[in-house]
Structure 1
Amino acid sequence: MLVMLPCLGAAQEVSRTGAYPREEMRLVLGAGFAAILERHLESATPADLLVWSLAGMTSIDSALSVQRTGRNVRLLQGERLLLSRSLPERAEGESFATAGGAAADRLTLFQQAGWNASAAIRAAGASALIRHSFEAIFSHFDPFSRYITPEEAQAARERRTGEAGLGLRLAPGRGAGTVVVAVAAGSPAAEAGLHVGDRVLSIDGTRLRPRDAAGAAGLLEGPAGTNVLLLIERNRRRQELTLRRVLPHGSPVTAERVDDVLMIRIPAFSAQTERQVAAALLAAFSQGAPKAVVLDLRGNRGGLLSQAAAVADIFLGPGEAFRTAGRHAEASRIYVTAGGDLAQGVPLVVVVDGRTASSAEIVAAALSDRGRAAVIGTSTTGKGLVQLVVPLPDGGELLMSWSRLIMPAGWPLQDIGVLPGLCTTGGPAAAARALTALRAGSRPMGAAQAQQGAMRHPVPAVAAEALRAACPPAEVPNEDLPVARGLALDTAAAGAAMAQ
């Protein structure tokens, strides 16, 4: 449950009065600490969280310093001792919520001492203390975990509102429901007569709680072509409006037929990606089966994990697509494919480059490991950690890595990335030579692909770097696409390029 606290929304007012809001800070920090202790991919102790978060204060005021000696920690201002306390410990069987709360309680004592002694701390305010505390903690973990401020979190929630292509944006308002703050011209919202300033009281019969723009976002989402019913209030009069969802604007999937090869470009994995890819395939095959399909994932930075599984399912029969592994029981899952191949078994090639990441890497790896597709391009980003969003009582969020991605062959994606069977790092001429080698039965990337498939977590950084050096990440230009089509049309070369 997300509980909004007005006190920290007015952090600057608090700093002007000189009062440190200890009770509110304990709630926010305690919730975050409990989540980190229980769910983060990497383990930490309550003592670690306390000492690391104290470094956040020293980043605000360099006159402050922290000393950890044995089972005690001290906060100093120059030579002056401000506070000394024992480090918290989690007792056997103690809940993460209790342990996190105890660590937060200890931290707020130090923050209060720093607040009273440091003008810089008071000027920064409570919100800055929260941000610096979590940033200091996450600096000891992976590069993707971070704290999201209440303002950033609200903006993200508002962006999620109307993602189904309704063309409106909602924001919290006073009283019941949420308020329409933007209506896009020509959108379903505009055509239905929705106005800026209208108050949305319910969505499809579900009444909205006060200030619950995030809840409204989830209720607005749905498949394109379906209707959503809004109860609105305008000038103290209520009326119902029906809006029809359309495909979202942004970067949709595109498809074209070149040399009888279906080229499908996926720029990102959004809520509609699987539907759009399936529609492109069905439309193309209804006009006669192409000789091959090329999935273009260049520059695709990822997106929804569920959509990665769904897109892989379009091309694969029953089996494992990928799995996630983490400390928390709910973080470890197996994603499977169960459907039939909408591409009807025609040759499939996936194009990747150094900016291909996350969900896009999953699709490329799943299709490659399962022997369904050959991969062409360069080494990909190697972003193989899954993030969990943890709401905090101040309206902020923790974006926290809680599981790692394991590909069907058993190797971890993080730091390694996907290796292509045909490397294009050297440019079009080098790519053409690699294609000629594959046609002759040679496998220039074969040894590196075998080495990748044999890797298991944890992979030393030096080993990952050495493997990626076989085909360094780079941008793959459009000039390389004819080579991708040539690979797709040559069954023997495509087979040689596949991971074996």
Structure 2
Amino acid sequence: MPRSRKAACRVALCLAFCILVLALQSGGADAQTPTGAGPDAARPTGTAQAPATATSVPPPPSPPVFSASSTRDVLVAALGFLEPRTLEAHSARDFCVWGLDGLTAIDPTLSVTVTPTATSSPAVHAPGTAVAAEKSAIASLPATLSVLQGQTVLFSRALPAGNSHSAWADLVTAAMQAAWQHSSTLRDAGSDALLQGFFDELFNHLDPYSRYLGPSPATSDRTRRTGSTGTVGLSLGQNGRNIVITAVNANGPAWEAGVDTGEHLVSVNGRSTHGQDAATVQDWLEGDEHSSVTLGIAAKGHRPTTFKLQRVQVPPETVFASTDGPFTVLRVTSFSTQTAEEISQYIDQVVEQPTPDAPAPPPGKGKAAGIILDLRGDRGGVLQQAVTTAALLLDHGVAVTTQGRNPLANHIWAVQGGDMTNGTPVVVLVDGRTASAAEILASALADHRRAVVIGSETLGKGLVQVIGQMPNGGELFVTWSRNQAPLGWPIQGLGVMPQICTSLGAEALQAQLSALKAGNSLQGEAVQTARAARYPVPVAKILEIRKHCPAAIGSDADMDAAKALLSSPAAYKAALESVPDENSAPLH
């Protein structure tokens, strides 16, 4: 039967947020086509010679080319993107001088210096105001940027007087080109390496998370976030000479149509799959986005059913559901553009939802025994998807606050729409690798006393990056805001302090669970201290807080503790209440 789409409607209602997509106009790149020709073999006529064998001489490889125009376009776009968005204010001069040190990182024989312009001083200084005037004139002279190879000056030019992005881009491009002409090490590395080195050195002066991805890795990263070519969301395997559906992506049209695992794919656009290998048939399913494909699918013991589906870009699945006794486990590997919808679809299957012609279930009815959100190893992803997931589980409230220098970075991400689970108990599993958007979700649910967090201290990545697309197809990820949890504490550095800590050993864990069953929390003081912290938190204070539940890799003890907690309503309630009440903790 086709799956219910009520969950998707709920996500659409919850999705009252928008991601700032900052794209810059794409530009063309210079290219050279290698040319060459092999000689024709010839022999005089009328002579008795053995026929000559014509040989093809491969053309010599083209020398590496530095594309000045493409590099300049990227630099102009990057400076325009960076300057208004970085957490701290910096000038085009800062970015360019920092970035040019990337030449030295590639070729250590090169160095970049910035020095005042040399001036000649008169033999006898004029007294009084004349000396002050001379000093003022010297101070006002522009500085000079030089690129040296050993003691040899390869390039020298006065720095632009203003903050013109085009002028600074011209300077950097010219400096790179001069270095390229004199350094075989740079030419061997390639022009893409010059840009990569420039941005690597620039971002070394900012934060650990801002970065540049060149055209090829940027394409792979976009595919991971949004999907690639058009498809229907099926994974295939073989059973003898038959093609079997082994997985159905919850983000794809096949899931919407009710296709299920274990069914046989008997035809694609009227072409029989019998005797074909799975990889070949998988290729048949792919095509241009929005094109249609007709599938013949047969369940065991039934006649084939025809499905006409439209191909779409299908993001990789990020949510994987299973059961452990009476509890539903949702393992979330990352937050892509469809993660919240995936979660809503699984919740819809395990929780009895009211329909338009049926009343809502009474309190305590129509809910599952418990949901375990497994965020261990989840490095994050799209912030808005974490907020929307929180909206599926919270009736209302602030999920996270973001604060930055750019006004567009400042948001109070509030949710309202109703708890989709009808109050089902929720446990969130985290570990030392849980980061970013995953930490936002864990802190939002814990701070609103909607879920109990179990595990160890998380990574503590509380900085948000905005993505800028460059003219060459590369991408800049620039940190532009800090995350603040609902109770006002900064996620950056601190991470999420769990209500039940599993990294202190089995004996300590058992003592915590026993205390919770009696209504007491041994972890309560550490939780309260962490929630009371306010930005900026000194490093020594961060280390003091985190030592109460050291970051660790997740283990079976996490899941065992989750099941034990969900099996004891008294312990679950005590763990929830170890977090301060939102009315007693200021937002700022």
Normalising by structure 2, we get a TM-score of 0.67
Q: Distance between the aligned counterparts of 1:394 and 1:245, measured in 2?
A: 26
Q: Distance between the aligned counterparts of 2:402 and 2:73, measured in 1?
A: 31
SS at match of 2:190: helix
SS at match of 1:470: coil
Question: Per the alignment, do residues 398 and 472 of structure 1 end up closer, same or farther by CA in structure 2, a change over 3 Å counting?
Answer: same
2:547 equivalent among 447, 464, 469: 469
Residue 299 of structure 1 is matched in structure 2 by: 377
1:77 equivalent among 143, 149, 152: 149
Q: 2:336 aligned with 1:336, yes or no?
A: no
2:343 equivalent among 266, 277, 280: 277
Residue 172 of structure 1 is matched in structure 2 by: none
Q: Which moved more, 1:416-425 or 1:453-462?
A: 453-462
What are the superposed Cα offsets for residues 294-349 of structure 1, whole Å, 9 maximum, x if unpaired?
32222222222222111111111121111222222222222111011122223322
Deviation at 1:472, TM superposition (A): 0.6
Q: 2:165 aligned with 1:100, yes or no?
A: yes
Residue 45 of structure 2 is matched in structure 1 by: none
1:7 equivalent among 30, 41, 44: 30
Q: Distance between the aligned counterparts of 2:408 and 2:572, measured in 1?
A: 38
Question: Conserved in 1, the CA contact under 8 Å of 2:28 and 2:472?
Answer: yes
Residue 126 of structure 1 is matched in structure 2 by: 191
Q: Distance between the aligned counterparts of 1:303 and 1:243, measured in 2?
A: 27
Aligned amino acid, residue 386 of structure 2? A
Q: 2:85 aligned with 1:62, yes or no?
A: no
Residue 67 of structure 2 is matched in structure 1 by: 21
Q: What are the equivalent positions in structure 2 for 1:165-184 lying under 5 Å apart?
A: 166=232
Question: Per the alignment, do residues 158 and 315 of structure 1 end up closer, same or farther by CA in structure 2, a change over 3 Å counting?
Answer: closer
Question: Per the alignment, do residues 447 and 86 of structure 1 end up closer, same or farther by CA in structure 2, a change over 3 Å counting?
Answer: farther
Deviation at 1:8, TM superposition (A): 6.0
Question: Conserved in 2, the CA contact under 8 Å of 1:353 and 1:476?
Answer: yes
SS at match of 2:83: helix
Residue 33 of structure 1 is matched in structure 2 by: 79
* Percent pairwise identity: 36
> Larger C-alpha radius of gyration, 1 or 2?
2
Q: 2:397 aligned with 1:319, yes or no?
A: yes
Deviation at 1:276, TM superposition (A): 3.1
1:48 equivalent among 71, 76, 94: 94
Q: 2:321 aligned with 1:254, yes or no?
A: yes
Q: Distance between the aligned counterparts of 1:29 and 1:419, measured in 2?
A: 41
Question: Conserved in 1, the CA contact under 8 Å of 2:229 and 2:286?
Answer: no
Cα RMSD for the two superposed structures: 3.4
Residue 473 of structure 2 is matched in structure 1 by: 395
- As a proportion of its length, which structure holds more helix? 1
Aligned amino acid, residue 149 of structure 2? Q
Q: Distance between the aligned counterparts of 1:247 and 1:53, measured in 2?
A: 37
Q: What are the equivalent positions in structure 2 for 1:88-487 lying under 5 Å apart?
A: 88=160, 90=162, 99-159=164-224, 160-162=226-228, 166=232, 191-192=268-269, 220=289, 228-229=290-291, 242-243=309-310, 250-256=317-323, 258=325, 260-286=326-352, 289-487=367-565
Aligned amino acid, residue 267 of structure 1? T
Q: Which moved more, 1:75-84 or 1:409-418?
A: 75-84
Aligned amino acid, residue 3 of structure 1? S
SS at match of 1:431: helix
Q: Distance between the aligned counterparts of 2:521 and 2:85, measured in 1?
A: 42
Residue 175 of structure 1 is matched in structure 2 by: none
SS at match of 1:418: coil
Question: Conserved in 1, the CA contact under 8 Å of 2:398 and 2:413?
Answer: yes
Question: Conserved in 2, the CA contact under 8 Å of 1:163 and 1:248?
Answer: no
Question: Conserved in 2, the CA contact under 8 Å of 1:8 and 1:24?
Answer: no
Number of matched residues? 441
Aligned amino acid, residue 268 of structure 2? E
Deviation at 1:380, TM superposition (A): 0.7
SS at match of 1:7: coil
Q: Distance between the aligned counterparts of 2:433 and 2:181, measured in 1?
A: 47
SS at match of 1:340: coil
Q: Which moved more, 1:362-371 or 1:288-297?
A: 288-297
Deviation at 1:245, TM superposition (A): 6.0
Question: Conserved in 1, the CA contact under 8 Å of 2:232 and 2:309?
Answer: no
Aligned amino acid, residue 277 of structure 1? I
Deviation at 1:22, TM superposition (A): 2.6
Q: Distance between the aligned counterparts of 1:20 and 1:301, measured in 2?
A: 36
Question: Per the alignment, do residues 44 and 9 of structure 1 end up closer, same or farther by CA in structure 2, a change over 3 Å counting?
Answer: farther
Question: Conserved in 1, the CA contact under 8 Å of 2:397 and 2:414?
Answer: yes
Deviation at 1:466, TM superposition (A): 2.1
Deviation at 1:473, TM superposition (A): 0.8
Q: Distance between the aligned counterparts of 2:103 and 2:340, measured in 1?
A: 46
Q: Distance between the aligned counterparts of 2:509 and 2:94, measured in 1?
A: 49
Q: Distance between the aligned counterparts of 1:461 and 1:481, measured in 2?
A: 31
Q: Which moved more, 1:462-471 or 1:190-199?
A: 190-199
Question: Conserved in 2, the CA contact under 8 Å of 1:263 and 1:293?
Answer: yes
SS at match of 1:38: coil
Q: Which moved more, 1:310-319 or 1:270-279?
A: 270-279
Q: Distance between the aligned counterparts of 1:247 and 1:395, measured in 2?
A: 21
Deviation at 1:109, TM superposition (A): 2.4
SS at match of 2:114: strand
Question: Conserved in 1, the CA contact under 8 Å of 2:148 and 2:155?
Answer: yes
Deviation at 1:242, TM superposition (A): 4.8
SS at match of 2:30: helix
Deviation at 1:432, TM superposition (A): 1.3
Q: Distance between the aligned counterparts of 2:530 and 2:452, measured in 1?
A: 15
Question: Per the alignment, do residues 165 and 354 of structure 1 end up closer, same or farther by CA in structure 2, a change over 3 Å counting?
Answer: farther
Q: Distance between the aligned counterparts of 2:195 and 2:313, measured in 1?
A: 40
